Amino acid sequence: MPWQFWIDVGGTFTDCIGKSPEGRLHTCKVLSSGAIPGRAEEGSTRQSLVDPLRQGEPEDFYRGYTLTLVDAAGAVLDAAPVRRFEGAQGRLVLKRPLKHVPRVAGHAYHLSSGEEAPVLGIRKILGLALDQPIPPVDIRLGTTVGTNALLERKGAGVAFVTTAGFGDLPEIGTQARPELFALHIVKPALLHRRVVELPERIDAGGRVLRPLCEKEVREALHTLKKEGFRVLAVALLNAIWNPVHEELVARVAEELGFEHVSVSHRVAPTIKLLDRADTTIVDAYLSPVLRRYVAGIRRSIPRGTLRLMNSAGGLMDADRFSGRDSILSGPAGGVVGFAEVARRAGFEKAIGFDMGGTSTDVSRFDGAYVYQFAAEKAGVRVVAPMYAIETVAAGGGSICRYDGQRLLVGPESAGADPGPACYGRGGPLTLTDINLFNGKIDPRHFPFPLDREAVIARLKEVSAEMERREGRRFSLPEIAAGFTEVANQKMAAAIKKISAAQGYDPREYLLMAFGGAGAQHACAIARLLGIGTILLHPLAGILSALGLGLADVQRFAQQTVLKPLTAETLADLEARFREMEAQLIHEVREEGIPDARILPPIRYLDLRYRGEEAAITVRQPEDGDYSAAFERLHRQYYGYVHQEREVEIVSLRVEVIGRTERPPDVYRSEREGTPEPDDFVTACFQGRPRRTPVFERSRLHPGAHLTGPAIVAEAFSTIVIDPGWEGRLTGRGDLLLTDTAGADRRMVASAKRDPVQLELFNNQFTHIAERMGITLQKTALSVNVKERLDFSCAILSAGGDLVVNAPHIPVHLGAMSEAVKGLLQTVDDIRPGDAFLTNDPDLGGSHLPDLTVITPVFDAEGRELRFFAASRAHHAEIGGRYPGSAYPFARNLAEEGIVFRNLRIVREGEFQEAAVWEALTTGKYPSRSPRENVADIRAQLAANQVGVQELQRLIDHYGWPVVAAYMQHIREAAAEKVRAAMRRFGGRVYRFRDELDDGSPIQVRLHYREGKLTVDFTGSAPVHPGSLNANRAVVQSAVLYCLRCLIGEDIPLNSGMLAPVRLILPGGMLNPPANPDPERHPAVFGGNVEVSQRLVDVIFGALEVVAAAQGTMNNFIFGNEEFGYYETVCGGSGAGPGFEGASAVHTHMTNTRLTDVEVLEKYYPVRVCRFAIRRGSGGKGRWRGGDGVIREMEMLAPVEVSLLTQRRTRRPFGLKGGEPGQAGKNLLLRKGHSQPEVLPPAAQIRLQPGDRICLCTPGGGGYGKPKP
């Protein structure tokens, strides 16, 4: 039996476990860079360096390594090869003298060999020098090499081959922008360098419409070869239904000698062209990188076996491992490790908390592994089997800073270089530094020396700035405690959010903490989550490496189905299941797994209700009843089931596992007792220094009992047992921690404003609103809420002031404050147990499809109104003259739909369904989908109730006076941020005027003086005869959005942002007159979706911060008596000082996603002919505006089409000499006609099969004079 090595290559460290032929485990940790850091101490000269840390290492181990001397900032001073290493003294003798004499007081250096980190780890465990060959070994490797190459965009040079008209699809993506409030929109960098569009077409039924010519393929690929491309990613439209054209391209590419070809129907056999294309490009981009990495390891270790872990926790032969398998290769080992350790300890439910240097990975084990089959990584969508691992941007390297108001932790990270301040390379203050300062890291067990003085210096800098800003002194322990509390709460909130989305209660789970920093924060995180038990394995610091030793060989396969779930369909799928199973079993056998260790195949179906997008993966039930199993899971995730909706099979999956040999479970008898400490240190808990016992884990015996506070030191981690926790070492060597104080202790906090508590309450209020949003998304019925995410949730004060609004859709921001104030003005008898429904534009509504549900909350006695929870959601149908409630030529409110004026929909806790149903189904233009309306209203009530419960928990924890005080404090802090942002605009008046396409003016005057910003729209158009009227709530949302963009910081959205604002809105288009009669009230639909965009443009135009964006949502609605479909289409964003506009992206007041082209063609009678970037449509300038898009569709059935657009005659303006972007065009090409017809900005037309409609969306304006 050869040596086995289980190696986890992380972003900073590589963890190695070696299992000897006798079964003993040996461990080591090295830097993933392959460098070995150290410090030259007393006795060092230019010719030789002495490092006590090297003492005891094998004689001449470092012979042939290169020693590099660096200064305090990490800059290279000199380098020389090592001639000899004297292990007894830790002396490195160099082949030539260094130019610099090392300082006696610990001059930094590092050693490197040029070999990969896994090879270095193997050499260290085996004690083999560079010139000694490594014997045959069995290596299991988990690596972040692929992930890092993706993050850093250092993959292979890829050419992307696709269907003509769709070459820009990866660049367009979903059309949503990644950062909601960023004026400089930065889309993820493309992975491919070249695009080839082939003239071919297959329809959604797999029928070839336009055959692909082999000669044209050969010519195109030959040109790519001449240009130097050797790697191809091929993704053709609808190839999932018929791969004949993709197979042709692959065959020709192989004949021409391309080194690597990834083909979409093999790499990601699933519907959705964008997902398949992204995954195929990722596979092609990373596979050559991984092959080179593997080759580098094999050069040093030519004999033995090498298997890599895929993202689903299975081992694969290195030759079969590809780019798409690598995305979660690193953290997957941790999932296997914690799940197996928890299972062996008798726990079937566990949450994995893997806290590393740059981030924290959270996963779950429920007696079975939890998988996901699609995820977004580094801005790219990847479709592949993988563990459901959620990453939180908080780790040991998270940067800790003070922003003038609050203590912040992350999301920025110091990374491995320069690393935390304590690394001694001039790095920033990080969470690792805070733990070191607090005495919660044992420097003796760290792989290199730590610099505590550098940490103290950084903390003093923060203290000085806080004293200057806050007017009082903060001690260093007080500041460190604040950073710790902020970080812990941030991580706990992320876990709560993940658990809410996945439908489980973390209080029912064991917490398995691992990773380098996990054990330092485990007690605090568990208490915040209400978890009472923590398990810490003796190798918790390198558990991902242990997981590799516990992993199995595994294969997945998938096929798309898209058929109803019936007995007939299941019978038809049996042959496909068996064929997939046979192929996977064959692949597992080829890995050397005997049949006796191959488990029976596991079958899965991805199921959903027809018409929905998200599917639930259902493992084959023992009784074979997939329908019942689906309903159980749907109820768990979403809280309801549909009794009369058809269930659809999206795809079928098969998993085959081949068991590998695992290390045995060793158990030693327990002997109860309290051990004597090995040492005492001063450690800080909640800002108070405490004399804390330190125990060496290796000296603890099974049954040992520890009481917090205590520190347990081990080789790869430091375990911190907080006060109120007790620990017991089990017979398996696990440390089991139990919370003896409980998670519900009342927090003692002052109502006085404090920078730590301010950030904590900021985070907690935001978390509550986000939890409300998760509940609404999960429990809603409509696609608008579940898939397009067209909703918003908020908490408001008793006076209707916005406390927090989760950042969902910008056009909803702040508007709910007006809705609650409208409720307070019009309803006198608001009582406990009530809830109200409104969409009235005169009472804070936006347009009629946006329904707002408001829930008042009182104290326990029902006397004092304390706050409101509110949610606003876009309902696809709310009545009106035409389906979709989006009639572009509406003349009054009645033609747009039903008006709700604070209808009491819950009375004394009882839902008034009869009253709601009557309001929806009576009147001149009733709703066409009342059942869906009622379901979504119930979902909004459920979301509000979550907000009520979460805020009540906050009150129970802190007390109402403190919570009420911080509701005010965070609004005051937001007002201060607005004033600070607007000071640069003080001293002058800013004006701007623009016009809608029909000539209606929008005019603004801005003036900041003495802490007050006046926003005056005097001079804007009178009431619009159509639907382009925007009420006060819409204007206020646009102003709030602009202010949040100008602040440029991540702060909660609340009414404090509007406190310094004086909004002047004369009656007219921007403030239409109220009227209780809907037939006499001006229409408002277009004001919400179109005028809101122009409001932002004129404000930013006046301030000259960014040129005009496309200025429209490009509303496109089509349907007939059988269906309806609504989308908004992206365009160009405006350029600004120092940045160019982004192309093909949604801007400002919307950020919804588009339906994938293959899904659209499968379910609707339409063929997408082209979806491309409209090159050159952005305005010229020193910085160019972004380009719009061309979206062309052919109708396959008679349909009614509605268009509501802008910027078709008035071009998006440039600034500072920048030129305007091109205006948009709406083109209609009738079947049989050769010339297109130009449609007006707003149109309602009837189309027949074969007719085409083409939207050419506007480009953004340029900024600055173009260079000559």
**CA angle, 1070 then 1076 then 1080, to 5°:** 70
Residue 323 confidence (pLDDT): 94
1144 to 513, 687, 1153: CA distances (angstroms): 43, 50, 12
Banded pLDDT at 749 (limits 50, 70, 90): low
504 to 393, 632, 764: CA distances (angstroms): 22, 13, 20
d(CA 430, CA 573): 54
* Residue 305 within any structural domain of the chain: no
* Residue 15 within any structural domain of the chain: yes
975 to 762, 797, 982, 1057: CA distances (angstroms): 14, 16, 11, 5
Residues 797 and 853 in one domain: yes
Banded pLDDT at 681 (limits 50, 70, 90): very high
pTM listed for this prediction: 0.90
Choose among 872, 850, 933, 883: nearest CA to 1125.
Answer: 883
- Domain end, chosen from 658, 673, 695, is at 658
Mean pLDDT of 988-998: 97
d(CA 221, CA 228): 11
Residues 123 and 241 in one domain: no
Given a contact cutoff of 8 angstroms between Cβ atoms, the answer to whether 771 and 497 are in contact is: yes
* Residue 1139 within any structural domain of the chain: yes
Kindly report, residue by residue over 853-898, the tens digit of the pLDDT: 999 999 988 899 999 999 999 888 899 888 777 788 899 999 999 9
Residues 801 and 929 in one domain: yes
Mean pLDDT of 1225-1252: 96
Choose among 128, 131, 125, 147: nearest CA to 7.
Answer: 125
Q: Is the pLDDT of residue 1208 over 80?
A: yes
Given a contact cutoff of 8 angstroms between Cβ atoms, the answer to whether 1218 and 1186 are in contact is: no
Banded pLDDT at 741 (limits 50, 70, 90): confident
Angle between helices 913-921 and 930-958 (to 10 degrees): 140
Residue with tokens 């367009």: 172
Phi first, then psi: what are they for 1185, rounded to 5°? -75, 160
* Residue 508 within any structural domain of the chain: no
Residues 195 and 141 in one domain: no
Kindly report, residue by residue over 113-129, the tens digit of the pLDDT: 999 999 999 999 999 99
Q: How many residues does the chain have?
A: 1268
Given a contact cutoff of 8 angstroms between Cβ atoms, the answer to whether 70 and 78 are in contact is: no
d(CA 716, CA 714): 6
State the DSSP string of 550-566. Answer: H-EEEEEEEEEEEEE--
Residues 13 and 125 in one domain: yes
Residue 433 confidence (pLDDT): 94
Residues 1124 and 1200 in one domain: yes
Kindly report, residue by residue over 264-278, the tens digit of the pLDDT: 999 999 999 999 999
d(CA 1173, CA 1169): 14
The burial of 984, by beta-carbon neighbours within 10 Å (0-12 exposed, 13-18 middle, 19 or more buried), is given as exposed
H-helix or E-strand spanning residue 1169: strand 1166-1174
More confident residue, 252 or 663: 252
Residues 1152 and 1240 in one domain: yes
Q: Which two tokens stand for residue 1050?
A: 């991540």
Residue 492 confidence (pLDDT): 87
The parent domain of residue 1189 ranges over 1106-1268
- Domain end, chosen from 600, 626, 658, is at 658
Banded pLDDT at 846 (limits 50, 70, 90): confident
Kindly report, residue by residue over 890-922, the tens digit of the pLDDT: 999 999 999 999 999 999 989 999 999 999 998
* Residue 912 within any structural domain of the chain: yes
- Domain end, chosen from 973, 998, 1033, is at 973
**CA angle, 664 then 670 then 676, to 5°:** 120
Using CA of residue 616, residue 621, residue 627, residue 633, what is the dihedral sign?
negative
Chain-centroid distance of CA 352 in Å reads: 18
d(CA 384, CA 643): 32
Residue 748 confidence (pLDDT): 55
Q: Is the pLDDT of residue 1127 over 80?
A: yes
| Longest pairwise C-alpha distance within the chain | 95
Q: What share of residues in the chain are helix, strand, coil (percent, to 5)?
A: 30, 30, 40
Mean pLDDT of 72-94: 91
Phi first, then psi: what are they for 954, rounded to 5°? -65, -40
968 to 761, 972, 974, 1169: CA distances (angstroms): 11, 6, 10, 54
Mean pLDDT of 1239-1251: 96
Residues 454 and 579 in one domain: no
Choose among 171, 231, 163, 172: nearest CA to 197.
Answer: 163
State the DSSP string of 373-423. Answer: S-EEETTEEE-S-EE--EEES-STTEEEEE-SS-EEEEEEE-TTTT--GGG
List the CATH number of the domain containing 556.
Answer: 3.30.1490
Q: Is the pLDDT of residue 746 over 60?
A: no
Q: Which two tokens stand for residue 462?
A: 């923060």
746 to 528, 947, 957, 1008: CA distances (angstroms): 12, 20, 5, 44
Residues 102 and 230 in one domain: no
Q: Is 1207 left (phi over 0), alpha (psi -120 to 50) or beta?
A: left
* Residue 108 within any structural domain of the chain: yes
Q: Is 106 left (phi over 0), alpha (psi -120 to 50) or beta?
A: left
What's the mean per-residue pLDDT of the chain? 91
Mean pLDDT of 604-633: 90
Work out the percent of the chain whose per-residue pLDDT is above 90: 69
Which distant-in-sequence residues (6+ apart) come within 8 Å of 513 by Cβ?
353, 355, 519, 521, 522, 525, 534, 535, 536, 540
* Residue 345 within any structural domain of the chain: no
Three-class secondary structure of residue 594 per DSSP: coil
Choose among 995, 990, 1003, 1001: nearest CA to 1065.
Answer: 1003
> Domains in the chain: how many in total?
6
Which distant-in-sequence residues (6+ apart) come within 8 Å of 61 by Cβ?
85, 87, 123, 124, 127, 129
Given a contact cutoff of 8 angstroms between Cβ atoms, the answer to whether 760 and 408 are in contact is: no
Strand partners, 1003: 993
Residue 782 confidence (pLDDT): 74
* Residue 535 within any structural domain of the chain: no
d(CA 50, CA 38): 10
Residues 98 and 214 in one domain: no
Residue 495 confidence (pLDDT): 84
Work out the percent of the chain whose per-residue pLDDT is above 70: 98
Choose among 262, 279, 261: nearest CA to 270.
Answer: 279
Residues 637 and 560 in one domain: yes
At position 493, the amino acid (one-letter code) is A
- Pairing relationship of beta strands 3-9 and 13-19 according to DSSP bridges: antiparallel
d(CA 1158, CA 1096): 34
- Pairing relationship of beta strands 137-143 and 304-309 according to DSSP bridges: parallel
Mean pLDDT of 488-503: 80
Q: Is the pLDDT of residue 104 over 80?
A: no
Residues 1117 and 1205 in one domain: yes
